[in-house]
Chain A
Amino acid sequence: MRSLLDFILRIHFLVLFLLIETFSIILLINNNNFQHAGVVNMSRQLSGRYYTRVSNIRQYLSLEEENNKLIEENTRLLNLLESTNKSNEVIYGNVLDTVLNQQYSYISAQIVNNSVNKKHNFLTLNKGLLHGIRPEMAVVSKDGVVGIVKGVSANYSTVISLLNLEYKISAKIKKNNYFGSLSWDGKNYRYATLNEIPLHADIQIGDTIITSGFSSIYPEGIIIGYINDFEEKTGSFYEIKIDLSVDFKNIRNVYVVSNLLQAEQNKIEEQIQ
Protein backbone atom coordinates (compact mmCIF):
# COMPACT_ATOMS: atom_id res chain seq x y z
CA MET A 1 0.00 0.00 0.00
CA ARG A 2 2.78 2.32 0.92
CA SER A 3 4.75 1.58 -2.18
CA LEU A 4 1.63 2.31 -4.15
CA LEU A 5 1.31 5.69 -2.47
CA ASP A 6 4.99 6.32 -3.18
CA PHE A 7 4.43 5.43 -6.78
CA ILE A 8 1.47 7.76 -7.06
CA LEU A 9 3.47 10.54 -5.42
CA ARG A 10 6.28 9.98 -7.85
CA ILE A 11 4.05 10.27 -10.87
CA HIS A 12 1.71 12.86 -9.40
CA PHE A 13 2.60 15.29 -12.16
CA LEU A 14 1.54 12.87 -14.87
CA VAL A 15 -1.59 11.85 -12.95
CA LEU A 16 -2.54 15.46 -12.39
CA PHE A 17 -1.90 16.25 -16.04
CA LEU A 18 -4.10 13.39 -17.15
CA LEU A 19 -6.86 14.45 -14.75
CA ILE A 20 -6.90 18.07 -15.86
CA GLU A 21 -6.55 17.12 -19.48
CA THR A 22 -9.41 14.66 -19.20
CA PHE A 23 -11.51 17.32 -17.55
CA SER A 24 -10.70 19.73 -20.36
CA ILE A 25 -11.54 17.20 -23.03
CA ILE A 26 -14.83 16.39 -21.31
CA LEU A 27 -15.62 20.09 -21.25
CA LEU A 28 -14.70 20.27 -24.90
CA ILE A 29 -16.85 17.36 -25.95
CA ASN A 30 -19.86 18.39 -23.91
CA ASN A 31 -19.85 22.00 -24.97
CA ASN A 32 -18.88 21.96 -28.61
CA ASN A 33 -21.32 20.43 -31.02
CA PHE A 34 -18.77 19.59 -33.66
CA GLN A 35 -16.47 17.66 -31.36
CA HIS A 36 -19.45 16.10 -29.63
CA ALA A 37 -20.74 14.81 -32.94
CA GLY A 38 -17.28 13.54 -33.76
CA VAL A 39 -17.05 11.53 -30.55
CA VAL A 40 -20.54 10.13 -30.89
CA ASN A 41 -19.79 9.19 -34.46
CA MET A 42 -16.53 7.49 -33.56
CA SER A 43 -18.00 5.54 -30.68
CA ARG A 44 -20.86 4.48 -32.88
CA GLN A 45 -18.45 3.24 -35.51
CA LEU A 46 -16.46 1.33 -32.94
CA SER A 47 -19.50 -0.23 -31.34
CA GLY A 48 -20.93 -0.92 -34.77
CA ARG A 49 -17.79 -2.76 -35.78
CA TYR A 50 -17.86 -4.72 -32.56
CA TYR A 51 -21.49 -5.70 -32.91
CA THR A 52 -20.96 -6.66 -36.54
CA ARG A 53 -18.22 -9.08 -35.51
CA VAL A 54 -20.31 -10.55 -32.74
CA SER A 55 -23.31 -10.98 -34.97
CA ASN A 56 -21.15 -12.52 -37.69
CA ILE A 57 -20.08 -15.18 -35.24
CA ARG A 58 -23.60 -15.67 -33.95
CA GLN A 59 -24.95 -16.04 -37.44
CA TYR A 60 -22.87 -19.16 -37.95
CA LEU A 61 -24.16 -20.66 -34.75
CA SER A 62 -27.77 -20.17 -35.73
CA LEU A 63 -27.36 -20.89 -39.41
CA GLU A 64 -29.56 -23.95 -39.42
CA GLU A 65 -32.33 -22.22 -37.57
CA GLU A 66 -32.07 -19.27 -39.91
CA ASN A 67 -32.29 -21.56 -42.91
CA ASN A 68 -35.42 -23.16 -41.57
CA LYS A 69 -36.92 -19.77 -40.96
CA LEU A 70 -36.11 -18.72 -44.49
CA ILE A 71 -37.66 -21.85 -45.91
CA GLU A 72 -40.82 -21.21 -43.93
CA GLU A 73 -40.84 -17.62 -45.07
CA ASN A 74 -40.36 -18.66 -48.68
CA THR A 75 -43.23 -21.08 -48.46
CA ARG A 76 -45.46 -18.48 -46.95
CA LEU A 77 -44.57 -15.93 -49.60
CA LEU A 78 -45.02 -18.42 -52.42
CA ASN A 79 -48.50 -19.07 -51.09
CA LEU A 80 -49.20 -15.38 -51.21
CA LEU A 81 -48.20 -15.11 -54.84
CA GLU A 82 -50.90 -14.20 -57.27
CA SER A 83 -50.13 -17.17 -59.45
CA THR A 84 -50.78 -19.54 -56.57
CA ASN A 85 -53.93 -17.89 -55.47
CA LYS A 86 -57.18 -17.21 -57.11
CA SER A 87 -58.34 -13.71 -57.20
CA ASN A 88 -61.70 -13.44 -55.50
CA GLU A 89 -62.22 -9.98 -56.79
CA VAL A 90 -65.49 -9.61 -58.61
CA ILE A 91 -66.64 -6.53 -60.40
CA TYR A 92 -70.37 -6.24 -60.43
CA GLY A 93 -72.17 -3.79 -62.58
CA ASN A 94 -75.66 -3.57 -61.16
CA VAL A 95 -77.32 -0.28 -61.85
CA LEU A 96 -80.13 1.14 -59.80
CA ASP A 97 -82.35 2.78 -62.33
CA THR A 98 -86.11 3.04 -62.18
CA VAL A 99 -86.61 3.94 -65.81
CA LEU A 100 -84.49 1.19 -67.27
CA ASN A 101 -84.93 -2.21 -65.73
CA GLN A 102 -81.55 -3.86 -65.71
CA GLN A 103 -81.75 -7.27 -67.31
CA TYR A 104 -78.15 -8.39 -67.61
CA SER A 105 -75.39 -8.28 -65.04
CA TYR A 106 -71.76 -8.96 -65.92
CA ILE A 107 -69.20 -10.74 -63.77
CA SER A 108 -65.56 -10.64 -64.81
CA ALA A 109 -63.65 -13.91 -64.83
CA GLN A 110 -60.47 -15.36 -66.17
CA ILE A 111 -59.99 -18.52 -68.15
CA VAL A 112 -57.71 -20.92 -66.36
CA ASN A 113 -58.11 -23.88 -68.64
CA ASN A 114 -58.97 -23.97 -72.29
CA SER A 115 -58.87 -26.22 -75.30
CA VAL A 116 -59.72 -25.86 -78.98
CA ASN A 117 -58.55 -29.11 -80.49
CA LYS A 118 -61.19 -31.57 -79.26
CA LYS A 119 -64.66 -32.25 -80.51
CA HIS A 120 -66.15 -31.23 -77.19
CA ASN A 121 -64.21 -28.30 -75.90
CA PHE A 122 -64.67 -26.87 -72.44
CA LEU A 123 -63.25 -23.86 -70.65
CA THR A 124 -62.65 -23.45 -66.94
CA LEU A 125 -63.12 -20.08 -65.25
CA ASN A 126 -61.66 -18.96 -61.97
CA LYS A 127 -64.98 -17.80 -60.59
CA GLY A 128 -67.74 -19.92 -59.17
CA LEU A 129 -70.73 -20.05 -56.88
CA LEU A 130 -69.07 -17.70 -54.41
CA HIS A 131 -68.87 -15.04 -57.04
CA GLY A 132 -72.41 -15.37 -58.21
CA ILE A 133 -71.94 -17.68 -61.16
CA ARG A 134 -74.72 -20.18 -61.84
CA PRO A 135 -75.25 -22.75 -64.58
CA GLU A 136 -76.85 -21.57 -67.81
CA MET A 137 -75.19 -18.20 -67.73
CA ALA A 138 -73.65 -16.87 -70.90
CA VAL A 139 -69.93 -16.30 -71.25
CA VAL A 140 -68.70 -13.59 -73.58
CA SER A 141 -65.42 -11.85 -74.19
CA LYS A 142 -64.88 -8.39 -75.56
CA ASP A 143 -64.76 -9.90 -79.05
CA GLY A 144 -67.92 -11.91 -78.84
CA VAL A 145 -69.62 -15.10 -77.70
CA VAL A 146 -67.53 -17.69 -75.89
CA GLY A 147 -69.91 -20.24 -74.44
CA ILE A 148 -72.31 -21.12 -71.67
CA VAL A 149 -71.71 -22.09 -68.06
CA LYS A 150 -72.37 -25.74 -67.44
CA GLY A 151 -71.07 -26.74 -64.03
CA VAL A 152 -70.25 -24.57 -61.03
CA SER A 153 -68.25 -25.32 -57.93
CA ALA A 154 -67.51 -22.92 -55.10
CA ASN A 155 -64.59 -21.28 -56.84
CA TYR A 156 -64.64 -22.56 -60.39
CA SER A 157 -67.02 -23.01 -63.22
CA THR A 158 -66.82 -25.01 -66.42
CA VAL A 159 -68.01 -23.51 -69.64
CA ILE A 160 -69.20 -25.29 -72.73
CA SER A 161 -67.21 -23.60 -75.43
CA LEU A 162 -68.80 -22.53 -78.67
CA LEU A 163 -66.38 -25.07 -80.11
CA ASN A 164 -68.46 -28.02 -78.99
CA LEU A 165 -70.36 -30.30 -81.29
CA GLU A 166 -73.31 -30.51 -78.95
CA TYR A 167 -73.73 -26.82 -78.54
CA LYS A 168 -76.08 -24.76 -80.58
CA ILE A 169 -76.77 -21.11 -80.34
CA SER A 170 -79.49 -18.96 -81.75
CA ALA A 171 -77.97 -16.37 -84.09
CA LYS A 172 -79.15 -13.83 -86.60
CA ILE A 173 -77.85 -11.70 -89.39
CA LYS A 174 -77.46 -8.22 -88.07
CA LYS A 175 -78.66 -6.30 -91.10
CA ASN A 176 -81.95 -8.13 -91.72
CA ASN A 177 -82.68 -10.13 -88.59
CA TYR A 178 -83.01 -13.52 -90.28
CA PHE A 179 -82.24 -15.96 -87.55
CA GLY A 180 -80.89 -19.45 -87.56
CA SER A 181 -79.00 -21.97 -85.55
CA LEU A 182 -75.25 -21.76 -85.25
CA SER A 183 -73.05 -24.75 -84.52
CA TRP A 184 -69.49 -25.90 -84.86
CA ASP A 185 -68.50 -28.64 -87.22
CA GLY A 186 -65.58 -29.86 -85.14
CA LYS A 187 -62.92 -29.10 -87.70
CA ASN A 188 -61.36 -25.67 -87.51
CA TYR A 189 -61.62 -23.49 -84.40
CA ARG A 190 -61.76 -20.36 -86.52
CA TYR A 191 -65.04 -21.24 -88.28
CA ALA A 192 -68.59 -22.19 -87.36
CA THR A 193 -71.67 -22.91 -89.41
CA LEU A 194 -74.98 -21.07 -89.48
CA ASN A 195 -77.98 -23.05 -90.71
CA GLU A 196 -81.67 -22.43 -91.27
CA ILE A 197 -81.31 -19.11 -93.05
CA PRO A 198 -83.93 -19.12 -95.82
CA LEU A 199 -82.79 -18.81 -99.42
CA HIS A 200 -84.66 -15.59 -99.99
CA ALA A 201 -82.63 -13.82 -97.36
CA ASP A 202 -80.23 -11.28 -98.77
CA ILE A 203 -76.78 -12.17 -97.51
CA GLN A 204 -73.33 -11.16 -98.54
CA ILE A 205 -69.85 -12.17 -97.54
CA GLY A 206 -68.75 -10.03 -94.62
CA ASP A 207 -72.16 -9.61 -93.02
CA THR A 208 -72.15 -9.55 -89.28
CA ILE A 209 -73.72 -12.38 -87.30
CA ILE A 210 -74.97 -11.56 -83.80
CA THR A 211 -76.87 -13.34 -81.07
CA SER A 212 -80.60 -13.26 -81.49
CA GLY A 213 -81.57 -12.87 -77.87
CA PHE A 214 -84.30 -15.46 -78.28
CA SER A 215 -82.91 -17.74 -75.66
CA SER A 216 -83.01 -16.50 -72.12
CA ILE A 217 -79.23 -16.88 -71.98
CA TYR A 218 -77.57 -14.41 -74.31
CA PRO A 219 -78.35 -10.77 -74.51
CA GLU A 220 -79.27 -9.67 -78.00
CA GLY A 221 -76.67 -8.24 -80.28
CA ILE A 222 -73.44 -9.84 -79.15
CA ILE A 223 -71.14 -10.43 -82.08
CA ILE A 224 -70.47 -14.02 -83.08
CA GLY A 225 -68.64 -13.57 -86.33
CA TYR A 226 -68.78 -12.60 -89.98
CA ILE A 227 -69.97 -14.45 -93.04
CA ASN A 228 -67.04 -16.06 -94.74
CA ASP A 229 -68.79 -18.12 -97.36
CA PHE A 230 -72.24 -19.56 -98.07
CA GLU A 231 -73.82 -22.15 -100.29
CA GLU A 232 -77.30 -23.47 -101.01
CA LYS A 233 -78.18 -26.69 -99.37
CA THR A 234 -80.82 -29.12 -100.47
CA GLY A 235 -84.11 -27.77 -99.30
CA SER A 236 -84.67 -24.12 -98.82
CA PHE A 237 -81.82 -23.11 -96.55
CA TYR A 238 -78.35 -21.70 -96.85
CA GLU A 239 -75.38 -23.24 -95.16
CA ILE A 240 -73.27 -20.27 -94.12
CA LYS A 241 -69.65 -20.48 -93.05
CA ILE A 242 -68.97 -18.06 -90.24
CA ASP A 243 -65.61 -16.53 -89.40
CA LEU A 244 -65.69 -16.49 -85.59
CA SER A 245 -64.83 -13.15 -84.08
CA VAL A 246 -63.40 -14.70 -80.94
CA ASP A 247 -59.96 -16.23 -81.27
CA PHE A 248 -60.33 -19.11 -78.86
CA LYS A 249 -56.62 -19.66 -78.79
CA ASN A 250 -55.81 -16.45 -76.99
CA ILE A 251 -58.78 -15.43 -74.90
CA ARG A 252 -58.14 -14.91 -71.25
CA ASN A 253 -60.52 -12.36 -69.78
CA VAL A 254 -64.19 -13.07 -70.16
CA TYR A 255 -67.46 -11.87 -68.69
CA VAL A 256 -70.15 -14.10 -67.34
CA VAL A 257 -73.52 -12.67 -68.18
CA SER A 258 -76.29 -13.20 -65.73
CA ASN A 259 -79.79 -12.64 -67.01
CA LEU A 260 -81.68 -11.24 -64.09
CA LEU A 261 -85.01 -12.00 -65.74
CA GLN A 262 -84.11 -15.49 -66.90
CA ALA A 263 -86.27 -17.26 -64.34
CA GLU A 264 -89.26 -15.13 -65.23
CA GLN A 265 -88.86 -15.76 -68.95
CA ASN A 266 -88.42 -19.49 -68.50
CA LYS A 267 -91.46 -19.64 -66.27
CA ILE A 268 -93.79 -17.97 -68.68
CA GLU A 269 -92.46 -20.00 -71.59
CA GLU A 270 -93.09 -23.21 -69.68
CA GLN A 271 -96.71 -22.18 -69.16
CA ILE A 272 -97.29 -22.08 -72.88
CA GLN A 273 -95.88 -25.51 -73.45
Chain B
Amino acid sequence: MIKDIPRYLVNFVVLITLQILIFNNIQLGGFINPYVYILFILILPFDIPKWFLLFIGFFLGITIDLFSNTLGMHSSACVFMAFLRPFILKIIAPREGYESETYPTVSYYGINWFLKYSLLLIFAHHTFLFFVEVFRFSDFFSTLLRIILSTIFSFFLIVVAQYFYRKQKRR
Protein backbone atom coordinates (compact mmCIF):
# COMPACT_ATOMS: atom_id res chain seq x y z
CA MET B 1 0.00 0.00 0.00
CA ILE B 2 2.63 2.51 1.07
CA LYS B 3 4.90 1.63 -1.85
CA ASP B 4 2.10 2.48 -4.25
CA ILE B 5 1.86 6.07 -3.12
CA PRO B 6 4.62 7.59 -5.29
CA ARG B 7 3.33 5.77 -8.35
CA TYR B 8 -0.23 6.99 -7.77
CA LEU B 9 1.02 10.51 -7.18
CA VAL B 10 2.73 10.45 -10.56
CA ASN B 11 -0.43 8.99 -12.09
CA PHE B 12 -2.47 11.74 -10.49
CA VAL B 13 -0.28 14.54 -11.80
CA VAL B 14 -0.01 13.04 -15.28
CA LEU B 15 -3.75 12.39 -15.63
CA ILE B 16 -4.70 15.85 -14.35
CA THR B 17 -2.20 17.47 -16.71
CA LEU B 18 -3.41 15.47 -19.69
CA GLN B 19 -7.02 16.21 -18.88
CA ILE B 20 -6.52 19.93 -18.46
CA LEU B 21 -4.13 20.51 -21.31
CA ILE B 22 -5.49 18.12 -23.91
CA PHE B 23 -8.80 16.43 -23.24
CA ASN B 24 -10.59 19.50 -21.94
CA ASN B 25 -9.93 21.11 -25.30
CA ILE B 26 -11.38 18.26 -27.29
CA GLN B 27 -14.99 18.74 -28.21
CA LEU B 28 -16.00 16.39 -30.96
CA GLY B 29 -19.01 17.63 -32.84
CA GLY B 30 -19.43 20.33 -30.24
CA PHE B 31 -20.74 18.11 -27.49
CA ILE B 32 -18.57 15.02 -26.98
CA ASN B 33 -16.09 15.64 -24.16
CA PRO B 34 -13.76 12.85 -23.08
CA TYR B 35 -12.96 12.71 -19.38
CA VAL B 36 -9.95 10.47 -19.06
CA TYR B 37 -8.80 11.60 -15.62
CA ILE B 38 -11.31 9.30 -13.90
CA LEU B 39 -8.97 6.50 -14.83
CA PHE B 40 -7.26 7.42 -11.58
CA ILE B 41 -10.24 6.28 -9.54
CA LEU B 42 -10.61 3.15 -11.62
CA ILE B 43 -7.10 1.90 -10.97
CA LEU B 44 -6.91 2.56 -7.23
CA PRO B 45 -6.07 -0.58 -5.22
CA PHE B 46 -8.85 -2.96 -4.17
CA ASP B 47 -8.12 -2.72 -0.48
CA ILE B 48 -8.25 1.06 -0.23
CA PRO B 49 -10.55 2.14 2.65
CA LYS B 50 -13.96 3.23 1.43
CA TRP B 51 -13.92 6.59 3.22
CA PHE B 52 -10.50 7.32 1.77
CA LEU B 53 -11.84 6.53 -1.68
CA LEU B 54 -14.48 9.23 -1.26
CA PHE B 55 -11.91 11.80 -0.23
CA ILE B 56 -9.64 10.89 -3.14
CA GLY B 57 -12.59 11.24 -5.49
CA PHE B 58 -13.41 14.64 -4.09
CA PHE B 59 -9.82 15.80 -4.24
CA LEU B 60 -9.41 14.60 -7.83
CA GLY B 61 -12.63 16.26 -8.95
CA ILE B 62 -11.96 19.55 -7.25
CA THR B 63 -8.49 19.71 -8.78
CA ILE B 64 -10.04 19.43 -12.24
CA ASP B 65 -12.70 21.95 -11.21
CA LEU B 66 -10.14 24.48 -10.11
CA PHE B 67 -8.46 24.35 -13.48
CA SER B 68 -11.59 24.31 -15.60
CA ASN B 69 -13.47 26.87 -13.51
CA THR B 70 -16.44 24.61 -12.74
CA LEU B 71 -16.14 24.40 -8.96
CA GLY B 72 -18.18 21.49 -7.59
CA MET B 73 -19.19 19.94 -10.89
CA HIS B 74 -16.45 17.37 -11.34
CA SER B 75 -15.96 16.87 -7.62
CA SER B 76 -19.58 15.85 -7.10
CA ALA B 77 -19.44 13.52 -10.09
CA CYS B 78 -16.20 11.95 -8.88
CA VAL B 79 -17.51 11.48 -5.35
CA PHE B 80 -20.55 9.80 -6.81
CA MET B 81 -18.35 7.53 -8.90
CA ALA B 82 -16.14 6.72 -5.92
CA PHE B 83 -19.22 5.89 -3.92
CA LEU B 84 -20.39 3.43 -6.57
CA ARG B 85 -17.00 1.77 -7.08
CA PRO B 86 -17.17 -0.70 -4.15
CA PHE B 87 -20.65 -1.86 -5.19
CA ILE B 88 -19.67 -2.30 -8.82
CA LEU B 89 -16.58 -4.21 -7.78
CA LYS B 90 -18.71 -6.49 -5.64
CA ILE B 91 -21.22 -7.12 -8.43
CA ILE B 92 -18.72 -8.01 -11.15
CA ALA B 93 -16.25 -9.81 -8.90
CA PRO B 94 -14.82 -13.02 -10.40
CA ARG B 95 -15.96 -16.27 -8.78
CA GLU B 96 -12.80 -16.61 -6.73
CA GLY B 97 -12.76 -12.98 -5.64
CA TYR B 98 -9.99 -10.45 -6.00
CA GLU B 99 -6.51 -11.60 -5.15
CA SER B 100 -4.35 -9.53 -2.90
CA GLU B 101 -1.47 -7.61 -4.41
CA THR B 102 -3.47 -7.06 -7.59
CA TYR B 103 -4.95 -3.92 -9.13
CA PRO B 104 -8.16 -3.42 -11.08
CA THR B 105 -6.50 -3.18 -14.46
CA VAL B 106 -6.59 -5.01 -17.77
CA SER B 107 -3.30 -6.69 -17.08
CA TYR B 108 -4.63 -8.48 -13.96
CA TYR B 109 -8.24 -9.27 -14.77
CA GLY B 110 -8.40 -9.20 -18.53
CA ILE B 111 -10.10 -6.98 -21.04
CA ASN B 112 -13.59 -8.41 -20.58
CA TRP B 113 -13.71 -7.74 -16.90
CA PHE B 114 -12.21 -4.29 -17.34
CA LEU B 115 -14.76 -3.44 -20.03
CA LYS B 116 -17.66 -4.13 -17.70
CA TYR B 117 -15.99 -2.43 -14.75
CA SER B 118 -14.93 0.74 -16.49
CA LEU B 119 -17.97 1.11 -18.71
CA LEU B 120 -20.34 1.05 -15.75
CA LEU B 121 -18.34 3.56 -13.72
CA ILE B 122 -17.60 5.87 -16.65
CA PHE B 123 -21.27 5.86 -17.57
CA ALA B 124 -22.24 6.65 -13.96
CA HIS B 125 -19.72 9.46 -13.79
CA HIS B 126 -20.70 10.96 -17.12
CA THR B 127 -24.39 10.71 -16.37
CA PHE B 128 -23.96 12.58 -13.12
CA LEU B 129 -21.60 15.14 -14.64
CA PHE B 130 -23.68 15.99 -17.69
CA PHE B 131 -26.92 16.24 -15.80
CA VAL B 132 -25.30 18.50 -13.24
CA GLU B 133 -23.93 20.55 -16.10
CA VAL B 134 -27.25 21.13 -17.86
CA PHE B 135 -29.00 21.11 -14.48
CA ARG B 136 -32.41 20.18 -15.78
CA PHE B 137 -34.24 17.16 -17.09
CA SER B 138 -36.18 18.88 -19.82
CA ASP B 139 -33.73 18.03 -22.64
CA PHE B 140 -33.38 14.53 -21.34
CA PHE B 141 -32.72 12.73 -24.60
CA SER B 142 -30.22 15.16 -26.05
CA THR B 143 -28.35 15.03 -22.74
CA LEU B 144 -28.52 11.24 -22.81
CA LEU B 145 -27.07 11.20 -26.31
CA ARG B 146 -24.19 13.38 -25.14
CA ILE B 147 -23.63 11.06 -22.18
CA ILE B 148 -23.55 7.91 -24.30
CA LEU B 149 -21.29 9.34 -26.98
CA SER B 150 -18.91 10.87 -24.44
CA THR B 151 -18.89 7.66 -22.44
CA ILE B 152 -17.86 5.69 -25.51
CA PHE B 153 -15.15 8.16 -26.35
CA SER B 154 -13.75 8.36 -22.79
CA PHE B 155 -13.98 4.62 -22.51
CA PHE B 156 -11.99 4.16 -25.71
CA LEU B 157 -9.25 6.52 -24.51
CA ILE B 158 -9.13 4.89 -21.08
CA VAL B 159 -8.75 1.42 -22.55
CA VAL B 160 -5.99 2.65 -24.85
CA ALA B 161 -4.31 4.26 -21.85
CA GLN B 162 -4.48 0.91 -20.08
CA TYR B 163 -2.32 -0.66 -22.75
CA PHE B 164 0.26 2.09 -22.35
CA TYR B 165 0.10 1.39 -18.68
CA ARG B 166 0.66 -2.30 -19.07
CA LYS B 167 3.72 -1.83 -21.25
CA GLN B 168 5.13 0.54 -18.69
CA LYS B 169 4.68 -2.02 -15.97
CA ARG B 170 6.24 -4.88 -17.79
CA ARG B 171 9.33 -2.96 -18.63
Contact = CB atoms under 8 A, between A and B. Distances in A.
Contact of A24 (B50, B51, B72, B86): B72
B47 to A, nearest CB: 15
Given A32-B70, A35-B135, A38-B136, A24 B75 contact: yes
A31 B72 contact: yes
Contacts, number: 60
A27 B136 contact: no
Contacts of B132: 28, 35
Nearest to B135: A38
Contact of A17 (B61, B62, B79, B136): B79
Interface in B68-115: 70-73, 75-76, 79-80, 83, 86
A29 interface: yes
Contact of B54 (A20, A25, A34, A35): A20
A17 B72 CA distance: 14
A21 interface: yes
Contacts of B70: 28, 32
B55 interface: yes
Interface residues of B, number: 22
A1 interface: no
A28 B71 contact: yes
A21 B51 contact: no
A21 B73 contact: no
Contacts of A57: none
A31 B76 CA distance: 13
Interface residues of A, number: 19
Interface string B128-152: 0000100110000000000000000
A27 B58 CA distance: 12
A119 interface: no
Given A28-B73, A32-B72, A21 B83 contact: yes
Interface in A10-44: 12-13, 16-17, 20-21, 23-32, 34-35, 38
Given A12-B51, A16-B51, A20-B79, A25 B72 contact: yes
A64 B76 CA distance: 53
Given A13-B51, A16-B54, A21 B76 contact: yes
Interface of A: 12-13, 16-17, 20-21, 23-32, 34-35, 38
Given A13-B51, A28-B71, A31-B71, 19 more contacts: A13-B54, A13-B83, A17-B79, A20-B54, A20-B79, A23-B58, A24-B58, A24-B76, A26-B72, A27-B62, A27-B65, A27-B72, A28-B72, A28-B75, A29-B72, A32-B70, A32-B71, A32-B73, A35-B73
